[in-house]
């Protein structure tokens, strides 16, 4: 009985945690506010230190570091932030981060020198913390400037040394030691200052890590590609202090930039722009990173692809989910998959702007889908990798494309495949043009809706005129001689 009771208790705890995570994700979407910052009117007036009003928009991350959010001031000079733990946020008008805690009621003011400072409206102890934090940020900025200056001044000597990486590492450790000493001087160790000391040290470590990355990247022309990859991958160990999703708020930019630099060498990509870039980012995330940083970058790559409308099929989401160990990112992938899978979608093989989601009626207008073919006649071929009659028509379709290559007509292939790998393999075999090769996802298990028509059988062909209107919803196939006569008839009006 004890074993059963323990198992039931464990399941109850797991379900409770899962529900809390789901609620947190849903709260992130609704932007439930738990901290506020009030700005004095003077902050928006001209002053000696600023050529114009200060921009007090605050920027922070939510959804576990995946999405950047800007919160604008309202008419009363108030910012509301949703945070569930102490979070670093940045104001676009102030060159320093601010550590905000849940429940904070903060006030942004300006002193006689024109400098912005923050204080708590409810707690004197919290105001003292904010003063200490600002002192530390000023010290860190000074140390960081000295670190960059020393690195640049000794660049020529560094590059000639066989211990280039060791020299760079020793220099960073020296300045991190200075930062730790600054923390000790401003925030003596105690239970009351533990969270603030941890946040300050982690922020300093993340900033110096980013500077070290810049140092290597700025000098990339001085070393060969294998050496540069070695230098960059050596920086992955700097993420060793990351233990939780909350820790990632300090490192997410550094990690994302580090991954982008590695990928740019491997595949000449700087962001997730198409399927090849997605695959390269995903493989590099799994190859060069470990633990929670790996899970973060895998999830971020998937999130970027979904946001850029490059991929939309459940296989991708479920594959990413199975590759992730951290329960937060695993649940987040699952959540993203449900959000994506709940809508009717069309996905393109490559370019993100070819991806077109259905509207609430699961229908698309010709104008929306065929923007690249505006002003042209469009021949649409509905097919699937498993459809033998469809595949038998493909050689004639290729011939038809060549014959009409100089005419005012475009050809679009829309697959009803359930498997993206099968679709991609068949598309390559049939030499389909990626820019005009789309995947139609069913609105339920069996029904495919397209521009007001239900696609029940394939092969199926349609002809759409230059205005995006369907002029023939059941046209002959490429093998049928009647198709050419029909195309010529419609082309006469162009």
In whole numbers, what is the pLDDT of the chain averaged over residues? 77
Q: What is the CATH number of the domain that holds 365?
A: 3.40.30.10
Query: What is the model's pLDDT at position 24?
Result: 63
In 3D space, the residue among 399, 417, 64, 373 whose CA is nearest the CA of residue 244 turns out to be 64
Has residue 120 got a pLDDT over 90? yes
Both 372 and 330 in a single domain? no
Regarding whether 104 and 47 lie in a shared domain, the answer is: yes
Are residue 448 and residue 392 in the same domain, yes or no? yes
* Torsion sign over Cα 142, 148, 149, 150: positive
Domain tally, the chain: 3
Highest-pLDDT range among 1-10, 91-100, 283-292: 283-292
Q: Which two tokens stand for residue 244?
A: 């939780």
Please give the residue that has the higher pLDDT: either 300 or 434.
Answer: 300
The per-residue pLDDT for 308 is 65
Contact 237, 318 (CB under 8 A): no
* 3-class secondary structure, 398: helix
| Residue 128 contacts residue 59 (beta carbons within 8 Å) | no
| 276 plus 291 within the same structural domain | yes
Cα-based angle 80, 83, 88 (whole degrees, multiple of 5): 95
Query: Does residue 4 sit within a domain?
Result: no
CB 186 within 8 A of CB 139: yes
What kind and span of H or E run contains 91?
Answer: strand 87-91
Neighbours of 219 (CB within 10 A): 18
Write out the two tokens for 96.
């320093």
Q: What is the DSSP string of 292-326?
A: HHHHHHHHHHHHHHHHTTS---HHHHHHHHHH--S
Residue 199 resides in a domain: yes
* End position of a domain, from candidates 345, 380, 408: 345
Q: Are residues 205 and 302 in the same domain?
A: yes
Decide if 437 is inside a domain: yes
Alpha carbon distance 303, 121 (integer Å): 38
Which residue, 101, 122, 143, sits at the end of a domain?
A: 122
Q: Euclidean distance between the first and final Cα of the chain, in Å?
A: 81
In a domain, 9, yes or no: no
Asked whether residue 424 is assigned to any structural domain, the reply reads yes
374: pLDDT strictly greater than 70 = yes
In the structure, what pLDDT confidence band is assigned to residue 53 with cuts at 50, 70 and 90? low
pLDDT exceeds cutoff 80 at 54: no
Are both 363 and 332 inside the same structural domain? no
Strands laid side by side in the 87-91 sheet: 67-71, 58-62, 87-91, 97-100
DSSP result, 331-344: HHHHHHHHHHHTS-
Q: Give the Cα separation of 130 and 117 in Å (integer).
A: 8
CATH of the domain at 87: 2.60.40
User: Residues 71-84: pLDDT tens digits?
Assistant: 777 656 788 887 77
Query: How far from the centroid of its chain's Cα atoms is residue 247's Cα?
Result: 18
Assess if residue 449 is contained within a domain.
yes
Q: What's the confidence (pLDDT) of residue 129?
A: 92
| End-of-domain residue from the set 319, 345, 371 | 345
Question: pLDDT band at 354, cuts 50/70/90?
Answer: very low
Integer Rg of the chain from CA = 28
224: which residues sit within 8 A by CB, 6+ positions away? none
DSSP-derived pairing of the beta strands 105-110 and 35-39: parallel
Q: Which range of residues forms the domain containing residue 99?
A: 25-122
391-406 pLDDT per residue, tens: 888 888 888 888 887 7
What pLDDT is stored for residue 258 in this prediction?
A: 92
97-100/87-91 β-pairing: antiparallel
pLDDT of residue 132: 92
Contact 69, 61 (CB under 8 A): yes
Q: How confident is the model at residue 480 (pLDDT cuts 50, 70, 90)?
A: confident
Q: Please, how many CA atoms are within 13 Å of residue 372, restricted to the half-sphere of its CB?
A: 12
Statement to judge: residues 116 and 139 lie in one domain: no
- Asked, for residue 127, whether it belongs to a domain, the answer is no
- Do 103 and 141 fall within a single domain? no
CA distances in angstroms from 102 to 36, 91, 106, listed in the order given: 9, 18, 11
**Sign, CA torsion 399/400/401/407:** positive
pLDDT for residue 6 is more than 60? no
Q: Which two tokens stand for residue 373?
A: 């073919």
* Whole-number Å distance between alpha carbons of 393 and 480: 10
**Is 344's pLDDT higher than 90?**
no
pLDDT of residue 367: 45
Instruction: State the burial class of residue 23 (Cβ atoms within 10 Å of its Cβ: 0-12, 13-18, 19+).
Output: exposed
* Confidence band, pLDDT 50/70/90 cuts, at residue 347: very low
Q: Do residues 72 and 182 share a domain?
A: no
pTM of the model as a whole: 0.64
Tell whether the model's pLDDT for residue 66 goes beyond 60. yes
Residues 331 and 203 in one domain: yes
In a domain, 7, yes or no: no
Q: Which of 138-152, 176-190, 337-351, 434-448 is modeled with the greatest confidence? A: 176-190
Q: Is the pLDDT of residue 444 over 60?
A: no
One domain, residues 364 and 299:
no
Tell me the mean pLDDT in the region 448-454.
75
Shared domain for 435 and 353, answered yes or no, is: yes
The dihedral over CA atoms of 319, 324, 328, 330, expressed in degrees to the nearest 10, equals: 20
d(CA 466, CA 424): 29
């Amino acid at each position: 009985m004890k074993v059963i009771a323990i198992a039931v208790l464990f399941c109850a705890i797991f379900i409770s945690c899962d529900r809390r995570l789901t609620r947190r994700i849903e709260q992130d979407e609704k932007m439930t506010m738990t901290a506020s910052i009030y700005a004095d009117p003077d902050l928006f007036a001209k002053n000696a230190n600023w050529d114009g009003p200060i921009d007090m928009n605050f920027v922070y991350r939510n959804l576990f570091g995946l999405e950047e959010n800007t919160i604008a001031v309202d008419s009363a000079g108030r910012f509301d932030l949703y945070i569930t733990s102490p979070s670093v946020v940045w104001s676009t008008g102030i060159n320093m981060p601010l550590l905000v805690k849940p429940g904070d009621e903060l006030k942004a003011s300006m002193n006689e020198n024109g400098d912005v400072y923050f204080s708590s409206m409810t707690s004197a102890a919290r105001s003292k913390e904010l003063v200490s934090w600002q002192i530390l940020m000023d010290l860190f900025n000074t140390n960081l400037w000295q670190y960059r200056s020393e690195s640049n001044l000794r660049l020529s000597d560094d590059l000639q040394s066989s211990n280039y990486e060791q020299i760079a590492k020793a220099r960073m450790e020296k300045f991190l030691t200075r930062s730790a000493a600054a923390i000790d001087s401003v925030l003596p160790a105690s239970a009351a200052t533990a969270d603030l000391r941890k946040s300050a040290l982690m922020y300093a470590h993340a900033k110096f890590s980013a500077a070290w990355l810049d140092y290597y990247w700025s000098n990339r022309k001085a070393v060969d590609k294998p050496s540069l990859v070695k230098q960059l991958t050596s920086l992955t160990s700097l993420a060793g202090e990351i233990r939780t999703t909350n820790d990632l708020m300090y490192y997410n930019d550094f990690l994302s930039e580090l991954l982008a630099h590695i990928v740019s060498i491997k595949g000449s990509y700087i962001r997730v722009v198409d399927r090849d870039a997605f695959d390269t980012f995903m493989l590099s995330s799994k190859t060069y990173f470990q633990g929670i940083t790996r899970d973060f970058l895998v999830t971020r790559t998937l999130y970027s692809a979904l946001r850029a409308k490059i991929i939309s099929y459940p296989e991708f989401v479920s594959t990413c989910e199975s590759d992730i160990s951290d329960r937060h990112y695993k649940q987040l992938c699952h959540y993203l998959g449900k959000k994506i899978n709940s809508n009717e979608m069309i996905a393109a093989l490559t370019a993100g702007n070819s991806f077109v989601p259905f509207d609430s009626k699961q229908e698309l207008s010709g104008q929306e889908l065929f923007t690249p073919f505006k002003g042209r006649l469009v021949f649409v071929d509905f097919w699937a990798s498993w459809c033998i009659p469809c595949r038998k028509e493909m050689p004639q379709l290729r011939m038809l494309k060549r014959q009409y290559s100089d005419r005012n007509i475009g050809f679009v292939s829309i697959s009803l495949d359930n498997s993206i790998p099968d679709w991609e393999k068949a598309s390559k075999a049939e030499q389909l043009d990626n820019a005009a090769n789309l995947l139609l996802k069913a609105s339920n298990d069996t029904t495919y809706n397209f521009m007001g028509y239900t696609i029940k059988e394939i092969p199926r062909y349609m002809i759409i005129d230059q205005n995006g209107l369907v002029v023939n919803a059941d046209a002959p196939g490429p093998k049928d001689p009647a198709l050419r006569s029909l195309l010529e008839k419609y082309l006469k009006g162009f």
